[in-house]
Structure 1
Amino acid sequence: MIKICQSSANLSPRATQIIAQAASDSKTNNVTTLDVSGYTDTSGAADYNQSLSQRRAQAVASELVNDGVPQNEIEIHAYGATHLLVATGSGVREPQNRRVEIVLN
Protein backbone atom coordinates (compact mmCIF):
# COMPACT_ATOMS: atom_id res chain seq x y z
CA MET A 1 0.00 0.00 0.00
CA ILE A 2 1.28 3.45 -0.83
CA LYS A 3 0.35 6.54 1.14
CA ILE A 4 0.26 9.64 -1.02
CA CYS A 5 -0.47 13.25 -0.23
CA GLN A 6 -3.71 13.23 1.74
CA SER A 7 -5.84 15.51 -0.38
CA SER A 8 -4.30 15.10 -3.81
CA ALA A 9 -2.55 12.71 -6.14
CA ASN A 10 0.96 13.98 -5.36
CA LEU A 11 3.52 11.35 -4.42
CA SER A 12 5.48 11.72 -1.20
CA PRO A 13 9.22 10.95 -1.14
CA ARG A 14 8.46 7.73 0.75
CA ALA A 15 5.89 6.76 -1.88
CA THR A 16 8.46 7.12 -4.67
CA GLN A 17 10.80 4.81 -2.71
CA ILE A 18 8.08 2.18 -2.34
CA ILE A 19 7.17 2.45 -6.01
CA ALA A 20 10.83 2.03 -7.01
CA GLN A 21 10.99 -1.12 -4.85
CA ALA A 22 7.82 -2.48 -6.46
CA ALA A 23 9.29 -1.81 -9.91
CA SER A 24 12.49 -3.60 -8.93
CA ASP A 25 10.58 -6.53 -7.43
CA SER A 26 8.48 -6.85 -10.57
CA LYS A 27 11.64 -7.36 -12.63
CA THR A 28 13.20 -9.98 -10.34
CA ASN A 29 10.09 -12.00 -9.43
CA ASN A 30 8.73 -12.93 -12.87
CA VAL A 31 5.73 -10.62 -12.54
CA THR A 32 3.39 -10.45 -15.52
CA THR A 33 1.07 -7.65 -14.37
CA LEU A 34 0.96 -4.99 -11.70
CA ASP A 35 -2.50 -4.02 -10.47
CA VAL A 36 -2.48 -0.38 -9.34
CA SER A 37 -5.64 0.55 -7.43
CA GLY A 38 -6.51 4.03 -6.17
CA TYR A 39 -8.89 4.83 -3.29
CA THR A 40 -10.24 7.81 -1.37
CA ASP A 41 -11.99 8.41 1.93
CA THR A 42 -15.69 9.23 2.13
CA SER A 43 -15.32 13.01 2.30
CA GLY A 44 -16.27 14.78 -0.90
CA ALA A 45 -18.71 13.99 -3.68
CA ALA A 46 -18.73 10.51 -5.19
CA ASP A 47 -17.79 11.69 -8.70
CA TYR A 48 -14.91 13.78 -7.35
CA ASN A 49 -13.64 10.83 -5.27
CA GLN A 50 -13.83 8.53 -8.28
CA SER A 51 -11.78 10.97 -10.33
CA LEU A 52 -9.29 11.50 -7.50
CA SER A 53 -8.77 7.77 -7.05
CA GLN A 54 -8.09 7.53 -10.80
CA ARG A 55 -5.53 10.36 -10.62
CA ARG A 56 -3.82 8.71 -7.63
CA ALA A 57 -3.55 5.36 -9.41
CA GLN A 58 -2.32 7.07 -12.58
CA ALA A 59 0.38 8.96 -10.63
CA VAL A 60 1.69 5.68 -9.23
CA ALA A 61 1.49 3.95 -12.62
CA SER A 62 3.43 6.82 -14.23
CA GLU A 63 6.14 6.52 -11.60
CA LEU A 64 6.33 2.74 -12.21
CA VAL A 65 6.88 3.46 -15.91
CA ASN A 66 9.58 5.99 -14.99
CA ASP A 67 11.18 3.20 -12.96
CA GLY A 68 11.27 0.88 -15.98
CA VAL A 69 8.02 -1.09 -15.80
CA PRO A 70 6.46 -1.45 -19.27
CA GLN A 71 3.12 0.36 -19.51
CA ASN A 72 1.45 -2.75 -20.93
CA GLU A 73 2.18 -4.65 -17.69
CA ILE A 74 0.23 -2.16 -15.54
CA GLU A 75 -3.51 -2.36 -14.94
CA ILE A 76 -5.08 0.71 -13.33
CA HIS A 77 -8.20 0.56 -11.15
CA ALA A 78 -10.05 3.41 -9.45
CA TYR A 79 -12.42 2.60 -6.61
CA GLY A 80 -13.21 6.03 -5.16
CA ALA A 81 -14.66 5.75 -1.65
CA THR A 82 -15.42 2.03 -1.93
CA HIS A 83 -13.28 -0.74 -0.43
CA LEU A 84 -12.41 1.33 2.64
CA LEU A 85 -9.42 0.21 4.67
CA VAL A 86 -10.99 1.77 7.77
CA ALA A 87 -14.78 1.63 7.87
CA THR A 88 -16.27 5.10 8.36
CA GLY A 89 -19.52 6.89 7.83
CA SER A 90 -20.23 9.22 4.95
CA GLY A 91 -18.21 12.44 4.84
CA VAL A 92 -15.46 11.24 7.18
CA ARG A 93 -11.86 12.21 6.49
CA GLU A 94 -9.75 9.11 7.13
CA PRO A 95 -6.12 9.29 5.99
CA GLN A 96 -5.72 5.49 5.84
CA ASN A 97 -8.45 5.28 3.19
CA ARG A 98 -6.51 7.68 0.93
CA ARG A 99 -4.19 5.21 -0.66
CA VAL A 100 -2.94 3.35 -3.70
CA GLU A 101 -2.25 -0.36 -3.62
CA ILE A 102 0.15 -2.16 -5.94
CA VAL A 103 -0.35 -5.91 -6.35
CA LEU A 104 2.29 -7.88 -8.23
CA ASN A 105 0.79 -10.80 -10.20
Structure 2
Amino acid sequence: MVQFRTATADIEPVYTHQLQQILALLSQQPSAHVELFGFADKRGTSDTNKTLSLSRSQAIASYLINNGIAHERINIMARGENDAQYAQHDNEGLFFDRRVIINVKAS
Protein backbone atom coordinates (compact mmCIF):
# COMPACT_ATOMS: atom_id res chain seq x y z
CA MET A 1 0.00 0.00 0.00
CA VAL A 2 1.17 3.49 -0.86
CA GLN A 3 -0.33 6.45 0.97
CA PHE A 4 -0.62 10.04 -0.20
CA ARG A 5 -0.75 13.58 1.10
CA THR A 6 -3.96 15.58 0.78
CA ALA A 7 -5.07 16.45 -2.78
CA THR A 8 -2.00 14.97 -4.46
CA ALA A 9 -0.99 11.91 -6.44
CA ASP A 10 2.73 12.45 -5.84
CA ILE A 11 4.55 9.33 -4.67
CA GLU A 12 6.56 10.12 -1.55
CA PRO A 13 10.22 8.99 -1.60
CA VAL A 14 9.61 6.83 1.49
CA TYR A 15 7.74 4.36 -0.78
CA THR A 16 10.61 3.87 -3.27
CA HIS A 17 11.98 0.79 -1.47
CA GLN A 18 8.56 -0.86 -1.35
CA LEU A 19 7.95 -0.17 -5.04
CA GLN A 20 11.39 -1.53 -5.89
CA GLN A 21 10.49 -4.76 -4.07
CA ILE A 22 7.30 -5.03 -6.14
CA LEU A 23 9.32 -4.47 -9.31
CA ALA A 24 11.71 -7.26 -8.28
CA LEU A 25 8.81 -9.61 -7.63
CA LEU A 26 7.23 -8.81 -10.99
CA SER A 27 10.57 -9.34 -12.73
CA GLN A 28 10.89 -12.77 -11.11
CA GLN A 29 7.33 -13.69 -12.10
CA PRO A 30 6.82 -12.53 -15.70
CA SER A 31 3.31 -13.98 -15.89
CA ALA A 32 2.09 -12.09 -12.80
CA HIS A 33 -0.01 -8.96 -13.11
CA VAL A 34 -0.81 -6.04 -10.80
CA GLU A 35 -4.12 -4.60 -9.63
CA LEU A 36 -4.01 -1.02 -8.37
CA PHE A 37 -6.95 0.22 -6.30
CA GLY A 38 -6.88 3.99 -5.74
CA PHE A 39 -8.76 5.68 -2.89
CA ALA A 40 -9.40 9.17 -1.53
CA ASP A 41 -10.65 10.44 1.80
CA LYS A 42 -14.17 11.85 2.28
CA ARG A 43 -13.20 15.48 1.75
CA GLY A 44 -14.00 17.01 -1.62
CA THR A 45 -16.73 16.12 -4.09
CA SER A 46 -17.37 12.61 -5.27
CA ASP A 47 -16.17 13.51 -8.78
CA THR A 48 -12.99 15.12 -7.47
CA ASN A 49 -12.26 12.14 -5.25
CA LYS A 50 -12.83 9.70 -8.12
CA THR A 51 -10.44 11.67 -10.32
CA LEU A 52 -7.85 11.91 -7.55
CA SER A 53 -8.02 8.21 -6.77
CA LEU A 54 -7.55 7.46 -10.48
CA SER A 55 -4.54 9.80 -10.60
CA ARG A 56 -3.02 7.99 -7.63
CA SER A 57 -3.42 4.60 -9.31
CA GLN A 58 -1.99 6.03 -12.53
CA ALA A 59 1.02 7.42 -10.64
CA ILE A 60 1.87 3.95 -9.34
CA ALA A 61 1.24 2.43 -12.77
CA SER A 62 3.55 5.01 -14.38
CA TYR A 63 6.25 4.21 -11.84
CA LEU A 64 6.02 0.51 -12.68
CA ILE A 65 5.90 1.11 -16.44
CA ASN A 66 8.85 3.53 -16.30
CA ASN A 67 10.79 0.78 -14.54
CA GLY A 68 10.15 -1.91 -17.14
CA ILE A 69 6.74 -3.44 -16.39
CA ALA A 70 4.51 -3.74 -19.47
CA HIS A 71 1.29 -1.76 -19.20
CA GLU A 72 -0.65 -4.89 -20.17
CA ARG A 73 0.29 -6.36 -16.79
CA ILE A 74 -1.35 -3.52 -14.85
CA ASN A 75 -5.06 -3.03 -14.07
CA ILE A 76 -6.12 0.31 -12.60
CA MET A 77 -9.23 0.94 -10.50
CA ALA A 78 -10.44 4.18 -8.93
CA ARG A 79 -12.65 3.86 -5.86
CA GLY A 80 -12.86 7.54 -4.88
CA GLU A 81 -14.08 7.92 -1.32
CA ASN A 82 -15.79 4.51 -1.39
CA ASP A 83 -14.52 2.46 1.51
CA ALA A 84 -13.21 5.55 3.34
CA GLN A 85 -13.13 4.74 7.04
CA TYR A 86 -12.43 8.05 8.75
CA ALA A 87 -14.53 11.16 9.39
CA GLN A 88 -13.67 14.44 7.67
CA HIS A 89 -12.56 16.00 10.96
CA ASP A 90 -10.13 13.13 11.79
CA ASN A 91 -7.00 14.60 10.20
CA GLU A 92 -4.75 11.76 11.32
CA GLY A 93 -7.18 9.07 10.24
CA LEU A 94 -7.74 10.62 6.81
CA PHE A 95 -4.14 9.77 5.95
CA PHE A 96 -5.08 6.09 5.90
CA ASP A 97 -7.92 6.69 3.44
CA ARG A 98 -5.61 8.33 0.86
CA ARG A 99 -3.98 5.26 -0.62
CA VAL A 100 -3.37 2.85 -3.45
CA ILE A 101 -3.61 -0.81 -2.61
CA ILE A 102 -1.28 -2.94 -4.75
CA ASN A 103 -2.23 -6.55 -5.39
CA VAL A 104 0.18 -8.79 -7.29
CA LYS A 105 -1.63 -11.72 -8.85
CA ALA A 106 -0.07 -14.83 -10.31
CA SER A 107 -1.45 -15.80 -13.71
Percent of aligned pairs sharing the same letter? 27
CA contact (8 A) 1:39 1:79 kept: yes
Q: Tell me what 2:86 maps to.
A: 88
CA contact (8 A) 1:4 1:15 kept: no
Q: Deviations over 1:38-57 (max 9, x none)?
A: 10010111000000000000
Letter in 1 for 2:40: T
Letter in 2 for 1:63: Y
- Count of aligned pairs between the two proteins: 102
> Normalising by the residue count of structure 1, what TM-score does the alignment of the two structures yield?
0.87
Q: Tell me what 2:61 maps to.
A: 61
**Which secondary structure state, in structure 2, belongs to the residue aligned with residue 6 of structure 1?**
coil
CA contact (8 A) 2:86 2:97 kept: no
CA contact (8 A) 1:23 1:64 kept: yes
C-alpha separation between the residues in 2 aligned to 1:57 and 1:72? Answer: 15
> Normalising by the residue count of structure 2, what TM-score does the alignment of the two structures yield?
0.85
**Which secondary structure state, in structure 2, belongs to the residue aligned with residue 63 of structure 1?**
helix
What is the aligned-residue RMSD (CA, Å)? 1.6
Unaligned runs of 5+ in 1: none
Q: Tell me what 1:27 maps to.
A: 27
Q: CA deviation at 1:30?
A: 4.9
CA contact (8 A) 1:2 1:99 kept: yes
Letter in 1 for 2:46: A
Q: CA deviation at 1:32?
A: 2.2
Please tell me whether residue 9 in structure 1 is matched to residue 9 in structure 2.
yes
Q: Tell me what 2:39 maps to.
A: 39
